[in-house]
Amino acid sequence: MLTRKVSKIRSSEITSESIYLTRRKFVQQGALAGAGLSVGLHANAGLQSNDDITPEHIVTSYNNFYEFGTDKSDPAENAHQMTTDPWAVSVSGEAKKTGKFAFEDIVAGLGRQERIYRFRCVEAWSMVVPWVGISLKEILQQFEPNGNAKYVEFKTLVRPSEMPGQRGIFSSIDWPYVEGLRMDEAYHPLSIMAVGLFGKELPNQNGAPWRLIVPWKYGFKSIKSIVSIRFTKRQPRNTWSLLAPNEYGFYANVNPAVSHPRWSQANERRLPSSIFDPNRRPTLPFNGYADEVASLYSGMNLTKNF
Amino acid sequence: MITHNQFVKAIVFICLVAPLCWLGWQISLELQQPGSALGADPGEAIVHYLGEWSIRILLFAFSITPLRRLLKSRALARTRRMVGLFAFTYVVMHLLAYLFFYLEFNWSGMWVEILERPYITVGMLALACLLPMAITSTGGWQRRLGRNWRLLHRMIYAAITLALIHLWWLTKDGFEDLVVYTLWFMVLLWFRWRNVSQQLR
Ligand code: HEM
Protein backbone atom coordinates (compact mmCIF):
# COMPACT_ATOMS: atom_id res chain seq x y z
CA MET A 1 0.00 0.00 0.00
CA LEU A 2 1.40 3.32 -1.00
CA THR A 3 -1.22 5.35 0.69
CA ARG A 4 0.28 7.72 3.19
CA LYS A 5 2.67 10.36 2.07
CA VAL A 6 6.15 9.83 3.34
CA SER A 7 6.77 12.13 6.23
CA LYS A 8 10.24 13.23 7.16
CA ILE A 9 11.47 11.97 10.49
CA ARG A 10 10.43 14.61 12.95
CA SER A 11 13.32 15.79 15.04
CA SER A 12 11.23 15.29 18.16
CA GLU A 13 11.22 11.58 17.44
CA ILE A 14 14.93 11.22 17.49
CA THR A 15 17.67 12.19 19.82
CA SER A 16 18.14 15.91 19.73
CA GLU A 17 21.56 17.19 18.95
CA SER A 18 22.04 18.55 22.47
CA ILE A 19 21.32 15.15 23.97
CA TYR A 20 23.71 13.68 21.45
CA LEU A 21 26.38 16.11 22.54
CA THR A 22 26.01 15.24 26.18
CA ARG A 23 26.19 11.61 25.21
CA ARG A 24 29.36 12.27 23.34
CA LYS A 25 30.84 13.60 26.53
CA PHE A 26 29.78 10.43 28.29
CA VAL A 27 31.57 8.43 25.68
CA GLN A 28 34.69 10.48 25.99
CA GLN A 29 34.68 10.22 29.74
CA GLY A 30 34.33 6.50 29.47
CA ALA A 31 30.93 6.53 31.19
CA LEU A 32 29.52 4.20 28.59
CA ALA A 33 26.92 2.15 30.32
CA GLY A 34 23.67 3.40 31.74
CA ALA A 35 23.77 6.78 30.12
CA GLY A 36 20.02 6.78 30.57
CA LEU A 37 18.15 8.62 27.82
CA SER A 38 16.77 6.44 25.09
CA VAL A 39 19.98 4.49 24.69
CA GLY A 40 19.21 0.82 24.63
CA LEU A 41 21.08 -2.01 26.22
CA HIS A 42 23.38 -2.47 23.25
CA ALA A 43 23.74 1.14 22.32
CA ASN A 44 27.41 1.44 23.11
CA ALA A 45 28.33 -2.21 23.11
CA GLY A 46 32.02 -2.80 22.80
CA LEU A 47 32.90 0.86 22.50
CA GLN A 48 36.34 1.59 23.87
CA SER A 49 37.51 4.67 25.68
CA ASN A 50 39.67 5.64 22.68
CA ASP A 51 36.77 5.37 20.25
CA ASP A 52 36.13 9.03 19.55
CA ILE A 53 33.15 9.75 17.39
CA THR A 54 34.19 10.57 13.82
CA PRO A 55 33.30 14.15 12.86
CA GLU A 56 29.98 14.40 11.07
CA HIS A 57 31.39 16.06 7.96
CA ILE A 58 33.64 13.05 7.42
CA VAL A 59 30.90 10.50 7.97
CA THR A 60 28.85 12.32 5.33
CA SER A 61 31.60 13.04 2.81
CA TYR A 62 33.75 9.89 2.74
CA ASN A 63 31.51 7.14 1.42
CA ASN A 64 31.52 4.02 -0.67
CA PHE A 65 28.23 4.06 -2.56
CA TYR A 66 29.15 2.97 -6.08
CA GLU A 67 25.68 3.79 -7.41
CA PHE A 68 26.91 7.39 -7.28
CA GLY A 69 30.50 6.84 -8.43
CA THR A 70 33.61 5.04 -7.24
CA ASP A 71 35.46 7.94 -5.60
CA LYS A 72 34.88 8.45 -1.89
CA SER A 73 33.69 11.99 -2.59
CA ASP A 74 31.27 11.03 -5.40
CA PRO A 75 28.29 10.04 -3.21
CA ALA A 76 28.31 13.34 -1.32
CA GLU A 77 28.42 15.15 -4.66
CA ASN A 78 25.80 13.14 -6.52
CA ALA A 79 23.42 11.54 -4.04
CA HIS A 80 21.17 14.60 -3.76
CA GLN A 81 19.77 13.52 -7.13
CA MET A 82 18.09 10.50 -5.54
CA THR A 83 14.39 10.87 -4.72
CA THR A 84 13.66 9.27 -1.36
CA ASP A 85 10.09 10.47 -1.02
CA PRO A 86 7.97 8.46 -1.72
CA TRP A 87 9.91 5.27 -0.96
CA ALA A 88 8.34 1.88 -1.62
CA VAL A 89 9.71 -1.36 -0.21
CA SER A 90 8.75 -4.73 -1.61
CA VAL A 91 8.64 -7.64 0.82
CA SER A 92 8.58 -11.15 -0.59
CA GLY A 93 9.50 -14.77 -0.06
CA GLU A 94 8.98 -16.96 2.97
CA ALA A 95 6.70 -14.73 5.04
CA LYS A 96 3.04 -14.26 5.71
CA LYS A 97 2.80 -10.56 5.03
CA THR A 98 4.32 -9.82 1.66
CA GLY A 99 3.73 -7.08 -0.90
CA LYS A 100 4.59 -3.46 -1.43
CA PHE A 101 4.79 -1.18 1.57
CA ALA A 102 5.53 2.45 2.09
CA PHE A 103 8.72 2.94 4.04
CA GLU A 104 7.06 5.10 6.66
CA ASP A 105 4.36 2.50 7.26
CA ILE A 106 6.99 -0.11 8.01
CA VAL A 107 8.85 1.99 10.53
CA ALA A 108 5.83 3.73 12.07
CA GLY A 109 5.52 2.98 15.73
CA LEU A 110 8.89 1.29 16.04
CA GLY A 111 11.31 2.64 18.61
CA ARG A 112 14.32 4.61 17.46
CA GLN A 113 17.53 4.40 19.40
CA GLU A 114 20.90 5.95 19.12
CA ARG A 115 23.60 3.34 18.59
CA ILE A 116 27.22 4.37 18.59
CA TYR A 117 29.06 1.72 16.61
CA ARG A 118 32.46 1.25 15.08
CA PHE A 119 32.20 0.94 11.32
CA ARG A 120 35.01 -1.05 9.68
CA CYS A 121 35.39 -1.06 5.90
CA VAL A 122 37.05 -3.99 4.14
CA GLU A 123 39.45 -1.38 2.71
CA ALA A 124 41.06 -1.15 6.17
CA TRP A 125 39.65 2.17 7.32
CA SER A 126 37.15 2.69 10.10
CA MET A 127 34.95 5.28 11.76
CA VAL A 128 32.80 5.59 14.88
CA VAL A 129 29.27 6.61 13.97
CA PRO A 130 26.28 7.54 16.14
CA TRP A 131 23.44 5.98 14.17
CA VAL A 132 19.77 6.46 14.79
CA GLY A 133 18.44 2.98 14.29
CA ILE A 134 15.54 0.61 14.62
CA SER A 135 15.93 -2.99 15.71
CA LEU A 136 16.11 -5.09 12.56
CA LYS A 137 14.36 -7.93 14.35
CA GLU A 138 11.36 -5.74 15.13
CA ILE A 139 11.18 -4.64 11.51
CA LEU A 140 11.42 -8.14 10.07
CA GLN A 141 9.02 -9.76 12.54
CA GLN A 142 6.22 -7.52 11.31
CA PHE A 143 6.18 -9.56 8.09
CA GLU A 144 5.85 -12.83 10.00
CA PRO A 145 8.52 -14.89 8.28
CA ASN A 146 7.67 -18.62 8.25
CA GLY A 147 9.75 -21.64 9.21
CA ASN A 148 11.40 -21.79 5.81
CA ALA A 149 12.93 -18.36 6.21
CA LYS A 150 16.57 -19.13 6.94
CA TYR A 151 18.03 -16.02 5.32
CA VAL A 152 16.98 -12.52 4.43
CA GLU A 153 18.08 -10.72 1.28
CA PHE A 154 18.14 -6.96 0.71
CA LYS A 155 18.37 -4.94 -2.48
CA THR A 156 19.29 -1.34 -3.17
CA LEU A 157 17.34 0.97 -5.44
CA VAL A 158 18.06 0.79 -9.18
CA ARG A 159 17.38 4.14 -10.81
CA PRO A 160 20.02 5.04 -13.38
CA SER A 161 18.37 8.40 -14.05
CA GLU A 162 19.24 9.45 -10.51
CA MET A 163 22.29 7.26 -9.93
CA PRO A 164 25.17 8.16 -12.26
CA GLY A 165 27.22 5.12 -11.20
CA GLN A 166 24.54 2.86 -12.65
CA ARG A 167 24.84 4.57 -16.02
CA GLY A 168 28.57 3.95 -16.43
CA ILE A 169 29.47 1.42 -19.09
CA PHE A 170 32.76 0.56 -17.39
CA SER A 171 31.24 -0.91 -14.28
CA SER A 172 31.20 -4.64 -13.71
CA ILE A 173 28.52 -4.55 -11.01
CA ASP A 174 25.25 -6.13 -12.00
CA TRP A 175 22.76 -3.75 -10.36
CA PRO A 176 20.93 -3.88 -8.03
CA TYR A 177 23.38 -4.17 -5.17
CA VAL A 178 22.33 -7.23 -3.14
CA GLU A 179 23.25 -8.36 0.34
CA GLY A 180 21.98 -10.90 2.79
CA LEU A 181 22.12 -12.19 6.34
CA ARG A 182 21.32 -15.41 8.09
CA MET A 183 18.09 -14.98 10.08
CA ASP A 184 19.89 -15.39 13.41
CA GLU A 185 22.32 -12.65 12.39
CA ALA A 186 19.44 -10.43 11.35
CA TYR A 187 17.65 -11.06 14.66
CA HIS A 188 20.76 -10.26 16.69
CA PRO A 189 20.15 -7.26 18.96
CA LEU A 190 23.12 -5.40 17.47
CA SER A 191 21.62 -5.50 13.95
CA ILE A 192 19.72 -2.36 13.10
CA MET A 193 18.23 -0.46 10.21
CA ALA A 194 19.68 3.03 10.43
CA VAL A 195 17.34 5.90 9.59
CA GLY A 196 19.57 8.67 10.84
CA LEU A 197 22.96 9.71 12.12
CA PHE A 198 24.13 12.38 14.52
CA GLY A 199 20.53 12.72 15.64
CA LYS A 200 19.43 13.79 12.19
CA GLU A 201 17.75 12.22 9.22
CA LEU A 202 20.03 9.90 7.23
CA PRO A 203 21.70 11.83 4.37
CA ASN A 204 21.30 10.33 0.90
CA GLN A 205 25.00 9.53 0.57
CA ASN A 206 24.78 7.40 3.71
CA GLY A 207 21.90 5.35 2.31
CA ALA A 208 18.65 7.26 2.84
CA PRO A 209 15.98 6.60 3.77
CA TRP A 210 17.24 3.50 5.54
CA ARG A 211 20.23 1.22 5.46
CA LEU A 212 21.39 -1.88 7.23
CA ILE A 213 24.02 -1.73 9.98
CA VAL A 214 25.67 -4.94 11.18
CA PRO A 215 28.64 -3.58 13.12
CA TRP A 216 30.67 -6.80 13.38
CA LYS A 217 30.83 -7.22 9.60
CA TYR A 218 32.75 -5.31 6.95
CA GLY A 219 30.95 -2.23 5.70
CA PHE A 220 29.92 -3.69 2.36
CA LYS A 221 27.38 -5.90 4.17
CA SER A 222 25.59 -2.82 5.43
CA ILE A 223 23.54 -2.24 2.28
CA LYS A 224 22.12 1.21 1.62
CA SER A 225 18.84 2.67 0.31
CA ILE A 226 16.93 -0.60 0.56
CA VAL A 227 13.89 -1.22 -1.64
CA SER A 228 13.49 -4.97 -1.32
CA ILE A 229 13.42 -7.46 1.53
CA ARG A 230 13.10 -11.15 0.65
CA PHE A 231 13.01 -14.10 3.04
CA THR A 232 14.68 -17.15 1.58
CA LYS A 233 15.40 -20.76 2.32
CA ARG A 234 18.79 -20.73 0.64
CA GLN A 235 21.74 -18.43 1.19
CA PRO A 236 21.27 -15.36 -1.00
CA ARG A 237 24.03 -14.07 -3.24
CA ASN A 238 25.78 -10.84 -2.41
CA THR A 239 27.23 -8.34 -4.85
CA TRP A 240 30.91 -8.32 -3.92
CA SER A 241 31.24 -12.05 -3.58
CA LEU A 242 29.60 -12.39 -7.00
CA LEU A 243 32.24 -10.07 -8.44
CA ALA A 244 35.27 -11.58 -6.70
CA PRO A 245 34.42 -14.78 -4.81
CA ASN A 246 37.99 -15.31 -3.65
CA GLU A 247 38.15 -11.83 -2.12
CA TYR A 248 34.75 -11.31 -0.53
CA GLY A 249 32.58 -13.87 1.18
CA PHE A 250 29.00 -14.07 2.36
CA TYR A 251 29.80 -13.73 6.05
CA ALA A 252 32.34 -10.89 5.86
CA ASN A 253 32.87 -10.89 9.61
CA VAL A 254 35.65 -8.51 10.58
CA ASN A 255 38.62 -10.77 11.18
CA PRO A 256 42.20 -9.55 11.62
CA ALA A 257 43.47 -13.10 11.14
CA VAL A 258 42.16 -13.53 7.61
CA SER A 259 43.70 -11.06 5.19
CA HIS A 260 42.13 -9.89 1.99
CA PRO A 261 44.27 -10.33 -1.15
CA ARG A 262 44.49 -6.56 -1.38
CA TRP A 263 44.64 -5.41 2.22
CA SER A 264 46.03 -6.87 5.35
CA GLN A 265 43.14 -6.86 7.80
CA ALA A 266 45.39 -6.90 10.86
CA ASN A 267 44.97 -3.18 11.43
CA GLU A 268 42.98 -0.21 10.26
CA ARG A 269 43.22 3.53 9.72
CA ARG A 270 40.78 5.25 12.02
CA LEU A 271 39.43 8.30 10.21
CA PRO A 272 40.18 11.08 10.16
CA SER A 273 43.85 10.40 9.75
CA SER A 274 46.27 13.24 9.22
CA ILE A 275 49.49 13.69 7.32
CA PHE A 276 51.64 13.07 10.37
CA ASP A 277 49.42 10.52 12.01
CA PRO A 278 47.88 7.71 9.97
CA ASN A 279 45.95 6.90 13.16
CA ARG A 280 46.47 3.20 12.71
CA ARG A 281 45.23 0.73 15.26
CA PRO A 282 44.87 -3.02 15.49
CA THR A 283 41.64 -4.49 14.16
CA LEU A 284 39.62 -6.49 16.67
CA PRO A 285 37.94 -9.84 15.96
CA PHE A 286 34.30 -9.21 15.01
CA ASN A 287 35.22 -5.51 15.08
CA GLY A 288 35.27 -5.62 18.88
CA TYR A 289 31.83 -7.21 19.21
CA ALA A 290 33.08 -10.77 19.74
CA ASP A 291 31.48 -11.07 23.19
CA GLU A 292 28.09 -10.39 21.68
CA VAL A 293 28.27 -12.25 18.37
CA ALA A 294 31.00 -14.90 18.35
CA SER A 295 28.52 -17.54 19.53
CA LEU A 296 26.60 -17.15 16.27
CA TYR A 297 29.50 -18.82 14.51
CA SER A 298 30.59 -21.46 16.99
CA GLY A 299 31.89 -24.51 15.20
CA MET A 300 32.27 -22.68 11.90
CA ASN A 301 35.61 -22.42 10.10
CA LEU A 302 35.94 -18.64 9.82
CA THR A 303 38.93 -18.83 7.50
CA LYS A 304 36.89 -20.75 4.97
CA ASN A 305 33.67 -18.86 5.63
CA PHE A 306 35.27 -15.44 5.36
CA MET B 1 67.07 34.97 -26.26
CA ILE B 2 65.81 31.53 -25.51
CA THR B 3 65.89 29.04 -28.32
CA HIS B 4 62.96 27.02 -29.58
CA ASN B 5 64.42 23.94 -27.90
CA GLN B 6 64.67 25.68 -24.56
CA PHE B 7 61.15 27.01 -24.91
CA VAL B 8 59.63 23.56 -25.57
CA LYS B 9 61.66 22.11 -22.76
CA ALA B 10 60.50 24.80 -20.35
CA ILE B 11 56.84 24.21 -21.23
CA VAL B 12 57.16 20.47 -20.72
CA PHE B 13 59.03 21.02 -17.47
CA ILE B 14 56.30 23.28 -16.14
CA CYS B 15 53.67 20.70 -17.04
CA LEU B 16 55.59 18.02 -15.18
CA VAL B 17 56.15 19.96 -11.96
CA ALA B 18 52.66 21.48 -11.87
CA PRO B 19 51.06 18.35 -10.30
CA LEU B 20 53.74 18.40 -7.60
CA CYS B 21 53.15 22.08 -6.89
CA TRP B 22 49.46 21.40 -6.54
CA LEU B 23 50.15 18.52 -4.17
CA GLY B 24 52.55 20.68 -2.15
CA TRP B 25 49.86 23.34 -1.89
CA GLN B 26 47.24 20.81 -0.75
CA ILE B 27 49.64 19.39 1.83
CA SER B 28 50.39 22.85 3.19
CA LEU B 29 46.65 23.52 3.53
CA GLU B 30 46.30 20.16 5.20
CA LEU B 31 49.04 21.02 7.69
CA GLN B 32 47.36 24.29 8.60
CA GLN B 33 44.01 22.62 9.07
CA PRO B 34 43.75 18.83 8.92
CA GLY B 35 40.97 17.59 6.67
CA SER B 36 40.71 20.86 4.76
CA ALA B 37 42.26 19.79 1.46
CA LEU B 38 42.92 16.09 1.08
CA GLY B 39 39.88 14.69 2.82
CA ALA B 40 39.44 12.27 5.67
CA ASP B 41 42.34 10.08 4.64
CA PRO B 42 45.12 12.30 3.26
CA GLY B 43 47.59 9.39 3.12
CA GLU B 44 45.39 7.44 0.76
CA ALA B 45 44.71 10.57 -1.28
CA ILE B 46 48.44 11.22 -1.73
CA VAL B 47 49.25 7.60 -2.68
CA HIS B 48 46.48 7.62 -5.26
CA TYR B 49 47.35 11.05 -6.63
CA LEU B 50 51.00 10.15 -7.15
CA GLY B 51 50.00 6.80 -8.69
CA GLU B 52 47.71 8.50 -11.19
CA TRP B 53 50.42 10.95 -12.25
CA SER B 54 52.98 8.14 -12.44
CA ILE B 55 51.03 6.27 -15.08
CA ARG B 56 50.15 9.43 -17.01
CA ILE B 57 53.74 10.65 -17.19
CA LEU B 58 55.01 7.19 -18.00
CA LEU B 59 52.60 7.04 -20.94
CA PHE B 60 53.60 10.55 -21.94
CA ALA B 61 57.26 9.50 -22.01
CA PHE B 62 56.31 6.56 -24.20
CA SER B 63 54.34 8.90 -26.50
CA ILE B 64 57.20 11.21 -27.28
CA THR B 65 58.76 9.20 -30.11
CA PRO B 66 55.49 8.86 -32.06
CA LEU B 67 54.55 12.48 -31.24
CA ARG B 68 57.86 13.69 -32.59
CA ARG B 69 57.11 11.98 -35.88
CA LEU B 70 53.57 13.33 -35.97
CA LEU B 71 54.52 16.89 -35.04
CA LYS B 72 57.93 16.76 -36.72
CA SER B 73 59.33 18.33 -33.57
CA ARG B 74 62.94 17.59 -32.69
CA ALA B 75 62.64 19.88 -29.71
CA LEU B 76 60.06 17.55 -28.22
CA ALA B 77 62.34 14.56 -28.78
CA ARG B 78 64.97 16.31 -26.68
CA THR B 79 62.63 16.34 -23.67
CA ARG B 80 62.35 12.57 -23.63
CA ARG B 81 65.01 11.95 -21.00
CA MET B 82 63.56 14.59 -18.71
CA VAL B 83 60.05 13.17 -19.05
CA GLY B 84 61.29 9.65 -18.37
CA LEU B 85 63.16 10.78 -15.28
CA PHE B 86 60.10 12.61 -14.03
CA ALA B 87 58.03 9.46 -14.51
CA PHE B 88 60.59 7.55 -12.45
CA THR B 89 60.53 10.25 -9.76
CA TYR B 90 56.75 10.14 -9.47
CA VAL B 91 56.79 6.35 -9.13
CA VAL B 92 59.45 6.60 -6.41
CA MET B 93 57.39 9.21 -4.57
CA HIS B 94 54.31 6.99 -4.96
CA LEU B 95 56.30 4.16 -3.37
CA LEU B 96 57.59 6.42 -0.58
CA ALA B 97 54.07 7.66 0.14
CA TYR B 98 52.91 4.06 0.32
CA LEU B 99 55.77 3.14 2.66
CA PHE B 100 55.10 6.14 4.87
CA PHE B 101 51.31 6.17 5.03
CA TYR B 102 50.37 2.52 4.62
CA LEU B 103 53.33 0.73 6.19
CA GLU B 104 54.85 3.42 8.39
CA PHE B 105 58.26 2.22 7.22
CA ASN B 106 57.74 -1.22 8.65
CA TRP B 107 60.30 -3.02 6.50
CA SER B 108 59.42 -6.58 7.43
CA GLY B 109 55.81 -5.72 6.68
CA MET B 110 56.95 -4.53 3.28
CA TRP B 111 58.37 -7.92 2.36
CA VAL B 112 55.14 -9.61 3.38
CA GLU B 113 53.20 -7.12 1.24
CA ILE B 114 55.46 -7.66 -1.77
CA LEU B 115 55.18 -11.42 -1.53
CA GLU B 116 51.52 -11.69 -0.63
CA ARG B 117 49.83 -8.98 -2.66
CA PRO B 118 50.17 -9.56 -6.37
CA TYR B 119 49.35 -5.94 -7.25
CA ILE B 120 52.23 -4.77 -5.05
CA THR B 121 54.52 -7.41 -6.58
CA VAL B 122 53.89 -6.16 -10.10
CA GLY B 123 54.15 -2.51 -8.97
CA MET B 124 57.60 -3.27 -7.59
CA LEU B 125 58.54 -5.13 -10.76
CA ALA B 126 57.50 -2.11 -12.81
CA LEU B 127 59.72 0.05 -10.65
CA ALA B 128 62.53 -2.50 -10.99
CA CYS B 129 62.28 -2.10 -14.79
CA LEU B 130 62.45 1.68 -14.53
CA LEU B 131 65.43 1.79 -12.19
CA PRO B 132 68.17 0.67 -14.66
CA MET B 133 66.67 2.99 -17.27
CA ALA B 134 66.88 5.94 -14.88
CA ILE B 135 70.46 5.08 -13.92
CA THR B 136 71.63 4.79 -17.52
CA SER B 137 69.77 7.86 -18.75
CA THR B 138 72.90 10.02 -18.93
CA GLY B 139 74.89 10.68 -22.10
CA GLY B 140 77.89 8.92 -20.62
CA TRP B 141 76.02 5.66 -20.12
CA GLN B 142 74.42 6.01 -23.52
CA ARG B 143 77.88 6.13 -25.13
CA ARG B 144 79.32 3.38 -22.98
CA LEU B 145 76.45 0.99 -23.67
CA GLY B 146 76.22 1.73 -27.38
CA ARG B 147 73.67 -0.53 -29.07
CA ASN B 148 72.81 -2.16 -25.78
CA TRP B 149 71.47 1.13 -24.48
CA ARG B 150 68.53 0.96 -26.87
CA LEU B 151 67.92 -2.65 -25.93
CA LEU B 152 67.99 -1.80 -22.25
CA HIS B 153 65.54 1.03 -22.72
CA ARG B 154 63.05 -1.31 -24.36
CA MET B 155 62.23 -2.21 -20.75
CA ILE B 156 59.72 0.63 -20.94
CA TYR B 157 57.39 -1.86 -22.65
CA ALA B 158 57.60 -4.18 -19.65
CA ALA B 159 57.36 -1.32 -17.16
CA ILE B 160 54.13 0.06 -18.61
CA THR B 161 52.61 -3.38 -19.06
CA LEU B 162 53.35 -4.22 -15.43
CA ALA B 163 52.04 -0.84 -14.27
CA LEU B 164 48.78 -1.47 -16.12
CA ILE B 165 48.47 -4.93 -14.57
CA HIS B 166 49.08 -3.26 -11.18
CA LEU B 167 46.19 -0.96 -11.95
CA TRP B 168 43.82 -3.63 -13.23
CA TRP B 169 44.43 -5.67 -10.10
CA LEU B 170 43.90 -2.88 -7.64
CA THR B 171 40.80 -1.40 -9.26
CA LYS B 172 37.59 -2.78 -7.81
CA ASP B 173 35.13 -1.11 -10.12
CA GLY B 174 34.80 2.00 -12.26
CA PHE B 175 37.27 1.09 -14.95
CA GLU B 176 36.99 4.20 -17.13
CA ASP B 177 40.45 5.66 -16.38
CA LEU B 178 42.01 2.29 -16.79
CA VAL B 179 40.37 1.74 -20.16
CA VAL B 180 41.73 5.12 -21.31
CA TYR B 181 45.28 4.29 -20.17
CA THR B 182 45.19 0.85 -21.72
CA LEU B 183 43.85 2.13 -25.05
CA TRP B 184 46.45 4.88 -25.04
CA PHE B 185 49.18 2.26 -24.56
CA MET B 186 47.73 0.06 -27.32
CA VAL B 187 47.58 2.93 -29.79
CA LEU B 188 51.25 3.66 -29.08
CA LEU B 189 52.14 0.00 -29.55
CA TRP B 190 50.24 -0.08 -32.80
CA PHE B 191 52.08 3.06 -33.96
CA ARG B 192 55.45 1.49 -33.27
CA TRP B 193 54.52 -1.82 -34.84
CA ARG B 194 53.39 -0.02 -37.98
CA ASN B 195 56.65 1.88 -38.15
CA VAL B 196 58.74 -1.24 -37.80
CA SER B 197 56.75 -3.15 -40.39
CA GLN B 198 57.09 -0.22 -42.82
CA GLN B 199 60.85 -0.19 -42.32
CA LEU B 200 61.02 -3.93 -42.97
CA ARG B 201 59.14 -3.69 -46.21
C1 HEM C 1 55.32 2.08 -12.61
C2 HEM C 1 54.94 1.92 -11.42
C3 HEM C 1 53.59 2.29 -10.82
C4 HEM C 1 52.53 2.96 -11.36
C5 HEM C 1 52.41 3.59 -12.74
C6 HEM C 1 51.50 2.98 -10.36
C7 HEM C 1 50.25 3.57 -10.53
C8 HEM C 1 49.22 3.51 -9.63
C9 HEM C 1 47.91 4.03 -9.82
C10 HEM C 1 47.43 4.76 -11.07
C11 HEM C 1 47.19 3.78 -8.72
C12 HEM C 1 45.71 4.03 -8.52
C13 HEM C 1 45.39 5.32 -7.95
C14 HEM C 1 43.89 5.49 -7.84
O15 HEM C 1 43.16 4.51 -7.68
O16 HEM C 1 43.45 6.63 -7.93
C17 HEM C 1 48.04 3.12 -7.80
C18 HEM C 1 47.66 2.71 -6.54
C19 HEM C 1 48.52 2.11 -5.66
N20 HEM C 1 49.81 1.74 -5.88
FE21 HEM C 1 50.88 2.03 -7.54
N22 HEM C 1 51.94 2.34 -9.23
C23 HEM C 1 53.22 1.91 -9.49
C24 HEM C 1 54.06 1.25 -8.61
C25 HEM C 1 53.73 0.96 -7.32
C26 HEM C 1 54.65 0.43 -6.33
C27 HEM C 1 56.11 0.13 -6.57
C28 HEM C 1 53.92 0.30 -5.18
C29 HEM C 1 54.34 -0.18 -3.83
C30 HEM C 1 55.13 -1.10 -3.56
C31 HEM C 1 52.58 0.72 -5.43
C32 HEM C 1 51.56 0.71 -4.51
C33 HEM C 1 50.30 1.18 -4.73
C34 HEM C 1 49.26 1.20 -3.73
C35 HEM C 1 49.37 0.67 -2.31
C36 HEM C 1 48.13 1.77 -4.32
C37 HEM C 1 46.81 2.05 -3.66
C38 HEM C 1 45.92 0.85 -3.64
C39 HEM C 1 44.69 1.08 -2.85
O40 HEM C 1 44.60 2.04 -2.07
O41 HEM C 1 43.78 0.30 -3.00
N42 HEM C 1 52.50 1.14 -6.74
N43 HEM C 1 49.29 2.95 -8.38
pTM: 0.84
Yes or no, beta carbons of B172 and A70 under 8 Å apart: yes
pLDDT digits (tens, 9 = 90+) for B100-150: 988 888 888 888 888 888 999 999 999 999 999 999 998 899 899 989 998
Yes or no, beta carbons of A72 and B40 under 8 Å apart: yes
Nearest to B30 among A168, A264, A275 (CB): A275
Interface ipTM? 0.80
| Residue B52 forms contact with A (CB below 8 Å) | no
**What is the CATH number for A49?**
3.90.420.10
Sequence ranges of the domains in chain B: 4-189
Q: Give domain status of residue A8, yes or no.
A: no
Ligand 1, from B58, B85, B98, B122: best to mutate by most atoms within 8 Å of Cβ?
A: B98
Q: Which residues contact B30 (CB under 8 A, 6 or more apart)?
A: A274, A275, B36, B37, B38, B42
In a structure prediction context, what are the per-residue pLDDT tens digits for chain A, which is 306 residues long?
A: 333 333 444 444 444 444 444 333 333 333 333 333 344 445 566 677 778 899 999 999 999 999 999 889 899 999 999 999 999 999 999 999 999 999 999 999 899 999 999 999 999 999 999 999 999 999 999 999 999 999 999 999 999 999 999 998 888 899 999 999 999 999 999 999 999 999 999 999 999 999 999 999 999 999 999 999 999 999 999 999 999 888 899 999 999 988 887 778 888 999 988 888 878 899 999 999 999 999 999 888 888 888
Yes or no, beta carbons of A58 and B176 under 8 Å apart: no
Ligand 1, from B23, B86, B94, B176: best to mutate by most atoms within 8 Å of Cβ?
A: B94
CA distance A74 to chain B (A): 12
Yes or no, beta carbons of B34 and A274 under 8 Å apart: yes
Q: Give domain status of residue A72, yes or no.
A: yes
The whole-number pLDDT of residue A171 equals: 83
The whole-number pLDDT of residue A46 equals: 64
Contacts of B51 in chain A (CB under 8 A): none
Contacts of A264 in chain B (CB under 8 A): 109, 112-113
Q: Give domain status of residue A4, yes or no.
A: no
pLDDT digits (tens, 9 = 90+) for A57-86: 999 999 999 999 988 989 999 999 999 999
Mutation pick from B25, B41, B113 vs chain A, by most beta carbons of A within 10 Å, is B41
Nearest to A278 among B104, B172, B179 (CB): B104
**Phi, psi of A180, deg, nearest 5:** -155, 160
The whole-number pLDDT of residue B197 equals: 83
Q: Give domain status of residue A122, yes or no.
A: yes
* Dist. CA A63–CA A79, nearest whole Å: 11
Q: Give domain status of residue A305, yes or no.
A: no
Ligand 1: residues with CB < 6 A are B 44, 47-48, 51-52, 54-55, 58, 91, 94-95, 98, 102, 120, 123-124, 126-127, 159, 163, 166-167, 170
Number of domains in chain A: 1
The whole-number pLDDT of residue A157 equals: 96
Check whether B157 has a pLDDT greater than 60: yes
| Residue A281 forms contact with B (CB below 8 Å) | no
Interface of B with A in 119-178 (CB under 8 A): 119, 170, 172-176, 178
Q: Which residues contact A302 (CB under 8 A, 6 or more apart)?
A: A251, A253, A255, A257, A258
| Residue A72 forms contact with B (CB below 8 Å) | yes
Nearest Cα to Cα of residue A32 among A16, A49, A18, A15: A49
Contacts of B38 in chain A (CB under 8 A): 275
Residue minimizing CA distance to atom 24 of ligand 1: B123
Provide the domain limits for residue A234: 13-297
- Chain pair A-B, CB pairs under 8 angstroms: 77
Beta strands in chain B (DSSP E): none
